[in-house]
């Protein structure tokens, strides 16, 4: 009693940052249906502490998230030796997403609005 089932422990964790609650709900529903453990946050100001808490296997980061901003948060993740190995995908409607991805060394991007099959495939291709 008190132990987590093995299938729960073995699930890959996806951490999604977005200030749009509906987008977070939609993504969580889709990805939990694919047997991922999904955590969602509307703020990224404490991104390293969040990573320490949730231990994600991949992060989806909106660029236009309030306070620190997704771009700054990704740079923080990629400059930290303890977190730089975690794949980070930009999750944005920004028309310059491809250039931003290269500039800040994100592992890839998912354009909004997104195709569900493309979302699933991009995550599967990049998750640890």
Q: Give the rounded percent of residues in the chain with a pLDDT score beyond 70.
A: 93
Contacts of 108 (CB under 8 A, 6+ apart): 87, 89, 90, 101, 122, 125, 126
pLDDT in tens, 4-24: 555 455 799 999 999 999 999
Per-residue pLDDT averaged across 112-128, rounded?
A: 95
Is residue 3 pLDDT above 80, yes or no?
no
For residues 120 and 128, give the distance between their C-alpha atoms in angstroms, rounded to a whole number: 14
| Residue 32 confidence (pLDDT) | 95
The confidence band for 68, taking pLDDT boundaries of 50, 70 and 90, is confident
Report pLDDT for 66: 76
> What torsion do the CA atoms of 15, 23, 8, 89 make, to the nearest 10 degrees?
-30
Identify whether the C-beta of residue 88 lies closer than 8 Å to the C-beta of residue 51.
Answer: no
Q: Write out pLDDT tens, residues 35-64.
A: 999 999 999 999 999 999 999 999 999 999
pTM over 0.75: yes
Domains of the chain: residue spans and CATH: 6-126 (3.40.50.2300)
Specify the pLDDT at position 101. Answer: 97
The chain-wide mean pLDDT, for the chain, equals: 92
């Amino acid at each position: 009693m008190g132990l987590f089932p093995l299938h729960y422990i073995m699930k890959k964790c996806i951490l999604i940052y977005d200030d749009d609650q509906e987008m977070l709900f939609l993504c969580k529903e889709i990805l939990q249906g694919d047997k991922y453990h999904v955590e969602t946050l509307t703020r990224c100001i404490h991104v390293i502490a969040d990573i320490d808490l949730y231990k994600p296997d991949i992060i989806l980061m909106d660029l236009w998230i309030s306070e620190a901003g997704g771009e700054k948060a990704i740079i923080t993740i990629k400059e930290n030796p303890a977190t730089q190995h975690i794949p980070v995908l930009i999750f944005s409607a920004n028309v310059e997403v491809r250039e931003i991805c290269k500039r800040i060394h994100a592992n890839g991007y998912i354009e909004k609005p997104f195709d569900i099959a493309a979302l699933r495939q991009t995550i599967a291709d990049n998750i640890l």
